A and B are shown apart, each in its own frame.
Chain A
């Protein structure tokens, strides 16, 4: 079955550093992959979409890579701030009209 793996342990980093989150997927080849941010007690909010033919996508301080050979996406936040503290969800396209969500990685940015 299709499986998504994200680091289950929280990532703790110092303000100003770059945070890197990993998403690995197995047993399929998604044409698209999305990243979402989720704050406690709220619904996920879309951040970025990357297509299989795009190696890298950027939006302000965010950068996403998509390696279809390794079956992996990396999500980077540069110059991180305490306000970036949240859970980040990886969501490859799992079939027509469906996303498959990873369990998410919690990021904590300390001043």
Chain B
């Protein structure tokens, strides 16, 4: 039981490049989330998916797209990376909101030059 896994762990991009962050969970959870974490600002929700086939914008969705590929996988895409997207990105899943916990992946540290 691996929980929530994310790839890659680290990535450096140049401005304008694109990339996809991958996330998978093996807990059979319906809800999945993408957050970014910046110093002094806490975790901010980018997008979430309450169930397979649905996605919704969070607090900071601009510059990002998501795909809920199946129940296990939820990917985050940066089409044209900008330095303002330099951050640590966390994926999380939630089995039965709001009654229990969110499980987080180890994070992806992204630097955009």
Binding site for B on A (CB under 8 A): 4, 8, 31-32, 34, 41-46, 49, 89, 93, 96-104
B42 with A49: CB separation less than 8 A: no
Taking beta carbons and an 8 Å cutoff, which residues of B are in contact with A? 4, 31, 35, 40-45, 48, 50, 58, 90, 92, 94, 97-107
- Asked whether B101 lies within 8 Å of A98 as measured between CB atoms, the reply is no
With beta carbons under 8 angstroms apart, the residue of B35, B43, B101, B106 that contacts A49 is: B101
Q: Please provide the 4 A-B residue pairs with the shortest distance between their CB atoms, ordered closest to farther.
A: A43-B104, A46-B101, A103-B42, A101-B43
The A/B interface has a contact count, at CB < 8 Å, of 55
CB distance from B103 to the nearest CB of A (A): 8
B48 in contact with A8 (CB, 8 Å): no
A44 touches B43 (CB 8 A): yes
Inter-chain contact A89/B43, CB cutoff 8 Å? yes
Chain B neighbourhood of A31, CB < 8 A: 98
Question: With A43-B90, A98-B58 known to touch, is A4 a contact of B98 (CB < 8 Å)?
Answer: no
Cβ-defined contact, B107 with A103, below 8 A: no
> How far apart sit A93 and B31, CA to CA, in the bound complex (Å)?
15
A54 to chain B, nearest CB (A): 13
Q: Which of B41, B101, B106 is within 8 Å of A42, CB to CB?
A: B106
B102 & A99 in contact (Cβ 8 Å cutoff): yes
Contacts A34-B101, A49-B100, A103-B41 given; does A97 touch B107 at CB 8 Å: no
